[in-house]
Amino acid sequence: MQRLLNIQNTQLKSFRKLTPCGSASVSRANSTINLNFTAKACLSTCPNPNVLQKKKKFRRKSDKKFMELLVVTDNSTKEEKAPVRRLGPKQLKALVESDFNLSVLFKLNPLRHIEEHTYNNLNIIDSIPETQKNDLLNHENSVPSEEENAVVQLVNEQVDNPLITSAEKILTADFPSNEFVDDLSGLNSFRSFGKFQPEVLEEEPLELDEVKETEQEKVPTPFKHKTISEEISSQILSAYVEICSNMKDPQRGLNALIFHRSQSQNNPNNFPPLRTASVYNALIKSFALKGSLKKIEEILKYAAEDGVNLNVQSFANIFDCLGRINIKGSYLKQIRIFVKEMKKSNITFNDIINTAIFTKEQKQHVLDVIQAYEQSYVPYYHKPRVTYVNHLVKNLNIAEEEMELHRKVVTQGKNKESFLSEEKMNKLIFEQLELEKIGYLEVRSIESKGPSGESVHQFRKVLKQHFKMWEESALDGFNRELAALTARRSVLNMEPYLRAIPTKEYIKIVLEEAKKLAQGSETYSPTVNQLYREMGNRVYSKYKVLSKEKAGVLDKVLNIHTEYCKQYVNEHQKLGSLPDHEKKINSRQRWQLIEYSLKSEGASSVVDHNEWVPTVLTFIGKFLYHIVMYDIKIDVNSMKNVKHKNLLPAFYTIFRNQGRIIKEEVKPHPILSRLYRASEAETLTFPASEVPMKCPPVPWISVKTGGYMIASCEMVRLPTQAVTQKQRLEETDPQNLYPVLDSLNQLAAVPWKVNERILDLILEVFNSGGSTKLDVPQPPTALTLTYNDSKDQKYQNLRQKLQFRRKQAEMYSLWCDCLYRLSLANHYRKDIFWLPHNMDFRGRVYPIPPHLNHLGSDLARSMLIFAEARPLGPHGLDWLKLHLVNLTGLKKKSCLEDRLIFANEMMDKILDSADKPLTGEMWWAESEEPWQTLACCMELAAAHRSPNPEEYLSHFPIHQDGSCNGLQHYAALGRDSAGAKSVNLTASDIPQDVYSAVVALVEEQRVKDVELGIPIAKVLEGFVHRKVIKQTVMTTVYGVTRFGARLQIARQLKDLEDFPKEHVWHASQYLTTRTFDSLRCMFTSTREIQDWFTECAKLIASVSGKNVEWITPLGLPVVQPYNKYRKLPAISSVYDNYHMDKYEKPNVMKQKNAFPPNFIHSLDSSHMMLTSLFCERAGITFVSVHDCYWTHPSTVSIMNKICREQFVALHSEPILENLSLFLFDKYSYTKIDEKDAGTALTRKKFNKVLRTLPKTSNFDIREVLNSVYFFS
């Protein structure tokens, strides 16, 4: 300080005694500031005299970015904070040569007002005095004070000051090259304790020479931090503003926007300017509901300053506000102004009416405003585009007049012979809607435990008492934690998300989670992060349901769905053995036309919503789990005859090693687990989105609309971080996705019912302890452990004990899965139900309900049959017999005629199996698919005994399975004649078995190796069976590695009783090599194509640093979601970062290994979808399990014809050529810098590989049309 004053030629004694910082006098001085600096004014630190008396302590020198200073004048003292700027040599030289002191330099800084903003509901920015908060709120309407005028006068006086030249010379002097430039983010921590803050003039920040990225550089996106922060902050802020609006506190959301904009001025990297209209639209919408035009104008001013262009939804929300306040035309002037702005944006009234999203009465308000401006305006609603543009399905398009005529016929028709009446359908719609509102379904467990004893009833009573105690504790804990969260000072307080749904709904979610955990496995549980996300998603799903109900979307969807189901019932007439007419309109088109007819009424069918980000969902789950872990208690004396209660946490956490990672898991208290088991729970609970629907699902008409009525579900199953494919889907024209959507809709529109006879038999076996032979899971108690107590066997005993626990855990998992499936089947045994479908990222289709569906094991498939029946017709009985023989697996190499002969010969055994399934000869139990075989035996027996088998009404599905479907697609791609023959792409008298062919080649090579003296070849004599290598051959085309193939073969060799176990590993290695070599000999084109796929993916991921993507022949964009996720850097203290695949480096190994199988999967899904669409047009029932197609016995021939025609149509397309062009256009380098030889060579190779197609042969793909065993 003495040195500072010496520079100013000022003596220390000329200053008064300073008051210690933080004292009352200083605080009082903060309220009055005299800015008329005198010659005696100076800068000084503020030492505390009490501290000076203490012994000096060594403190490490720190480079502070600011200093606390005290401005002392004759009338006041004022504490300030000013930035510290390091001067370089040139600047110091200029300072020494100048003729002014530091106080003058201090005064040269143009003073400026630092705006701060506050939040409602305790969201307060630290260090802002109350006086300043009031100044901020009234800033726009305030009159400049004397102090402000003084500052302006002072600054104006400095303009002509000759010292300014010297100051500019100092402050603009060049920094040395090694000088550190402070990050502007540091300015965020400078807080003024008064109204104005004097600052030292700062030089412009140095700009580093930016490495300009050429068009071909393809720099991986993880390094574009500003783009990440822009996207994350926009998503978080949009959702936050919306949730504040739903809480009827839009000002809170506006304060969040104001805060972001203020921070953006000083720290644009962490608080980038908002470029999207979503935040502003949410704010405009919320203030429109309050009729606050002044606030909307303020928001529009901010949007204009940020360069945000208003869209259709923006003007719809503005007009909604004007419509609410424009009473007797009092706001016509403002209406004209906004209409003028709308027209400048090239937006018309019809655009608003047709594309904006409205809630309840909002559309009428907008229409009132438009008609106030233009009285003659009549809304014109655009007809939806319902036809296909993909040339593979263009033949399914019909004329608009024909479509309208067909729709009217179905709408007006009254069908008394439908499998379901209109009254019954309306009742089912209401029941489904109520189920989705509640959110979960409770069903009775089928587990048979015998008559309940007194102890069981006592334990159930104790458990109910615990549930009641949990509910009270959870409510108290929730209110306590919410109060603490509310009082927390933060910019974006999460409190609104914890008030998004009623409190009782949060408590229900907590209790359901606690019950689920109490029934969990003793050996496995999900990680806490997964549990957090799942619980957060349940809250989010409930919020979306309530939002739809509040916005009027639920009523609109109900109206459309009721009319849709009415037409569905009218169209589904009693079926004949063969269809008598084509189905001209599909489910999507029907829904779109109904929605169009009701477009002028009520709200839109979708809600305008900003999605919650993953970090918010995790926070909600963590918040609720804190209640589960600390407020849910268990009385550990509850199972004893002790009156004293000893309450302990009902759940605890453990840490488990998963490879190199240690993960935290949640476990129930052992007493709680025992109490649950002893109470023998009578019911099971399932989420509404995991059970079948009681009415036809909502057709998918876009990526976001379809599936359940109001419960949320995704069209494509993607991990949270896979945002690239989501964006590709949203960017794609919906018309290009129609074939994919319609295939999902066709599969979902098929009604199902339970095969009650099969269900009763399975229940009998299940409750009798299960059966390994019949593949009915046994309870874990059926497993016993016996070991020797000898000390010599201690290690062996420990190993057996670990294996026992592992096996017991596997048995329990399988047993629970079967319990859920059977309990749901028993619940729906008398009902007709539907299975909504979605797909994975490759386009493979799956039913959304995970437990009760046709996509599963033999037991699962056997329980379901079609709800609609068809007469067998002239050939249906034969197809039942062929299907039965196919299920047994006994005549795989025989022709169809021989299979029919075999079925007739086995008729006695078939009838015995149907009549006495568990007490007879049980011929069906020897089958490869025993339960499906038994179901077919019963159906065949009923048809055989009917008076006229041709008129027998059959609900039974017949399967046609592809012959190693992956190899079929590879052979077709490569036009490989030899490979095509081995997988039945060509006509033949008997079915070709590719697995047997590979076995023959392997055996031939083994014999040669024996002659060469290879020992392991001799050991394998007589053990090279079809079963040993089948799985490896099947999975080779799907990218199995040699290591994986070796494990598969080793597993099969272990199951051979006579094979010497000491040779398993060496034998599996030998057979793996020989199997791969044999496949290369048989499928030369296949291996070349697979190698090309692998090389392309490897170069795309490594050279361009991007994920591999392509578009399927039916227009579905696919992006492989395999990335290496780094530790997330912090964006700011306000916005939490989260993973997004487009900002991460691709995992090269996974990208290259997964591309070949994923591309083939996308082809087989395209073939299935084409077959689905044309079967729907033909009027036949169609269901698929990937490459296994199902239909009624009488329509198998029609399905087989369509299946072959669509395979030929698909592979008549230049699939490889189109893929090569797509990859080249997306990833190639058009300009290559020759200066860097290594990089240039790599990029040239990259471009060459993308355009060098593998060689193909001359197989005629049309031969598939004549192949009987292509699908059989």
Residues 1038-1052 pLDDT 10s? 777 888 888 888 888
pLDDT-based confidence at residue 267 (cuts at 50, 70, 90) = confident
pLDDT-based confidence at residue 143 (cuts at 50, 70, 90) = very low
Q: What is the pLDDT of residue 287?
A: 93
Which pLDDT tens digit goes with each residue over 842-869?
999 999 999 999 988 899 999 999 999 9
Q: What is the spatial distance between Cα 273 and Cα 1038, in angstroms, rounded to a whole number?
A: 46
Q: What is the pLDDT of residue 1242?
A: 84
Mean pLDDT of 1217-1222: 95
Residues in the chain: 1272
Which of 249-258, 999-1008, 1039-1048, 1161-1170 comes out lowest in average pLDDT?
1039-1048
Mean pLDDT of 324-328: 85
Residues paired with 960 in a beta bridge:
1189
Rounded alpha-carbon distances, angstroms, from residue 453 to 445, 456, 467, 472, 675: 18, 5, 21, 29, 15
Task: Answer yes or no: 961 catalytic.
Answer: yes
Q: Where is 966: in which H helix or E strand?
A: helix 965-974
Rounded alpha-carbon distances, angstroms, from residue 869 to 60, 369, 865, 1144, 1201: 87, 55, 9, 52, 22
Q: What is the pLDDT of residue 502?
A: 94
Which pLDDT tens digit goes with each residue over 1120-1152?
999 998 887 777 778 888 888 888 899 999 999
Give residue 1239's Cα distance to chain centre. 37
Burial of 622 (0-12, 13-18, 19+ CB in 10 A): middle
Which pLDDT tens digit goes with each residue over 452-488?
778 888 888 999 999 999 999 999 999 999 999 999 8
pLDDT at 10 over 60: no
Q: What's the DSSP call for residue 1102?
A: I
Higher pLDDT, 1038 or 129: 1038
pLDDT at 23 over 60: no
Q: What is the pLDDT of residue 729?
A: 94
Rounded alpha-carbon distances, angstroms, from residue 392 to 588, 1163, 1169, 1202: 18, 14, 11, 13
Lateral strand order in the sheet of 837-840: 716-717, 837-840, 845-847
Mean pLDDT of 950-957: 94
Residues paired with 959 in a beta bridge:
1190
Using DSSP, state whether 1071 is helix, strand or coil.
Answer: helix
Q: What is the spatial distance between Cα 586 and Cα 568, in angstroms, rounded to a whole number?
A: 10
Mean pLDDT of 132-140: 38
Task: Answer yes or no: 1145 catalytic.
Answer: no
Which pLDDT tens digit goes with each residue over 620-662?
999 999 999 999 999 999 888 777 889 999 999 988 887 778 8
Mean pLDDT of 1158-1172: 95
Higher pLDDT, 757 or 267: 757
Burial of 771 (0-12, 13-18, 19+ CB in 10 A): middle
Q: Which of 1030, 1098, 1145, 1152 is catalytic?
A: 1030
Give percent of the chain above pLDDT 70.
80
pLDDT at 1225 over 80: yes
Mean of all residue pLDDT scores within the chain: 81
Q: Which of 961, 1009, 1150, 1226 is catalytic?
A: 961
Which pLDDT tens digit goes with each residue over 663-696?
888 989 989 988 988 888 888 999 999 999 999 9
pLDDT-based confidence at residue 357 (cuts at 50, 70, 90) = very high
Mean pLDDT of 923-943: 94
For 372, the token pair is 């106030």
Q: What is the pLDDT of residue 68?
A: 59
Mean pLDDT of 1168-1175: 96
Q: Which of 320, 742, 858, 1187 is catalytic?
A: 1187
For 465, the token pair is 């008492």
Q: What is the spatial distance between Cα 31 and Cα 47, in angstroms, rounded to a whole number?
A: 22
**Which residues have CB under 8 Å from 438's CB, separation 6+?**
688
Which of 150-154, 185-189, 445-449, 844-848 comes out lowest in average pLDDT?
185-189
Which of 567-576, 616-625, 877-886, 950-959 comes out lowest in average pLDDT?
567-576
pLDDT at 194 over 50: no
Q: What is the pLDDT of residue 1120?
A: 94
Q: What is the pLDDT of residue 414?
A: 55
pLDDT-based confidence at residue 301 (cuts at 50, 70, 90) = very high
Taking only Cα atoms into account, the Rg of the chain, rounded to an integer number of angstroms, comes to 37
Which pLDDT tens digit goes with each residue over 715-733?
999 998 999 999 999 999 9
Give residue 664's Cα distance to chain centre. 23
For 1238, the token pair is 């290594």
In degrees, to the nearest 5, what angle opens at C-alpha 178 toward C-alphas 173 and 179? 50
Higher pLDDT, 673 or 8: 673
Task: Answer yes or no: 1233 catalytic.
Answer: no
Q: Estimate the share of the chain in helix, then strand, then coil, as percent rounded to the nearest 5.
A: 55, 10, 40
pLDDT at 85 over 90: no
